[in-house]
Chain A
Amino acid sequence: MKGPGEYGGTGRAGTTTLNGRGPERSGAPAESTVLTVRTEQDLLAIRHAVRDATLQVGFSIVDQTRVVTAASELARNAYVHGGGGTIRIEYPTRPGAVGLRLTVDDAGPGIADIDAALTDGYTTGAGLGHGLGGAQRLMDEFEIRTRDGGGTTVTVTRWADR
């Protein structure tokens, strides 16, 4: 069950500080982290880190599962096709909502046909070819950029009302 009341309406006022530079008051941690994707072991570490991040943001169990699964797909993509890369975990906020943003960067050959890559069943490696398209469906926002000289950046965000 989603818990819209988890962050308790107007109750956050108690965390405001006098000088305005005190601890974060948005309810979400602000520090972003960057992890590397180089080995299969890293994929496991990434799932752990992203799970922890979803807990910090206060996502429902279903949203936790969606985001960790999307992270697993994207990290595996970077590992298999991009020859490794990095994944950045960020905590964007907007009025009334907290979010989790993942940016996966790889230095691989890039994707020649993005539309095809987003189609289910398209794959050039292990898996089912649901990686990119699946991650897109599991998250609220999805952006992909691939550069001519090689390298692909995928940015995905999931929001939750607070």
Chain B
Amino acid sequence: MNARPTPGVPILRLGDVLVTGLLNELDDATVVAFTEELTTRITADRARGVLIDISRLEIIDSFVARTLMELTTMARLLGARVIVAGMRPPVAMTLAELGLRLAGVETALNAEHGMAALGWHQSPRPSGEVPHEGTR
């Protein structure tokens, strides 16, 4: 696989976690290129976790849903855990009505929750506890 960087979709590395996000303006080709680049990066960076922030996505159709499921499966095969974070309420409702469940995909309320589950905490607390009160 020789994936070129996907325009507009940066993939950052934080320790052994890759952090990235999907934007609303993606066409199919970009989504496919993104999948390829991400799997390449998982191997290259020896990532153990991937956080995909989807809080900017205004719709998820069956194509994007399938991509997220495939990505999760591929990442798992490569030894990384994928967490999809920040799905908007209307998008979740529409997906549920559409009959899609994103089988096998792990979801988190927002990027902070997702990162916490991947072993990262948003503030340097010695106890390592996630601050739950007044997080926003």
Chain A directly contacts chain B within the complex, with at least one CB pair under 8 Å: yes
CA distance A130 to B64 in the complex (A): 12
B118 CB to nearest A CB, Å: 27
CB of A65 within 8 A of chain B?
yes
CB of B25 within 8 A of chain A?
yes
A76 touches B61 (CB 8 A): yes
- Secondary structure of the A contact surface, majority rule: helix
CA distance A68 to B100 in the complex (A): 16
CB of B106 within 8 A of chain A?
no
The count of A-to-B residue pairs whose CB atoms sit within 8 angstroms is 68
Binding site for B on A (CB under 8 A): 40-41, 43-44, 47, 51, 61-62, 64-66, 68-69, 72-73, 76, 120, 126-131, 133-134, 137-138
- Secondary structure of the B contact surface, majority rule: helix
A134 touches B25 (CB 8 A): no
Contacts of A51 in B (CB 8 A): 58
Q: Which of B97, B98, B100 has the most CB of A within 10 A?
A: B98
A65 touches B62 (CB 8 A): no
Binding site for A on B (CB under 8 A): 25, 27-29, 58-63, 65-66, 89-91, 93-94, 97-100
Residue of A nearest to B92 (CB): A65
CA distance A62 to B93 in the complex (A): 8
B100 touches A138 (CB 8 A): no
A69 touches B27 (CB 8 A): no
CA distance A22 to B16 in the complex (A): 64
CA distance A151 to B79 in the complex (A): 45
CA distance A25 to B60 in the complex (A): 34
Q: Which of A44, A47, A120, A128 has the most CB of B within 10 A?
A: A128
Contacts of B94 in A (CB 8 A): 62, 65-66, 69, 138
B27 CB to nearest A CB, Å: 5
B110 CB to nearest A CB, Å: 18
CA distance A130 to B63 in the complex (A): 10
A64 touches B90 (CB 8 A): yes
CA distance A121 to B66 in the complex (A): 12
A65 touches B28 (CB 8 A): no
Contacts of B90 in A (CB 8 A): 61-62, 64-65
CA distance A61 to B59 in the complex (A): 11
Given contact pairs A40-B29, A64-B90, A138-B94, enumerate 7 new A-B contacts (beta carbons under 8 Å): A72-B59, A73-B61, A73-B62, A76-B63, A130-B99, A134-B100, A138-B97
With A69-B94, A72-B59, A126-B66 known as contacts, the answer to whether A133 contacts B29 (CB < 8 A) is no
Residue of B nearest to A123 (CB): B62
Contacts of A73 in B (CB 8 A): 61-62, 98
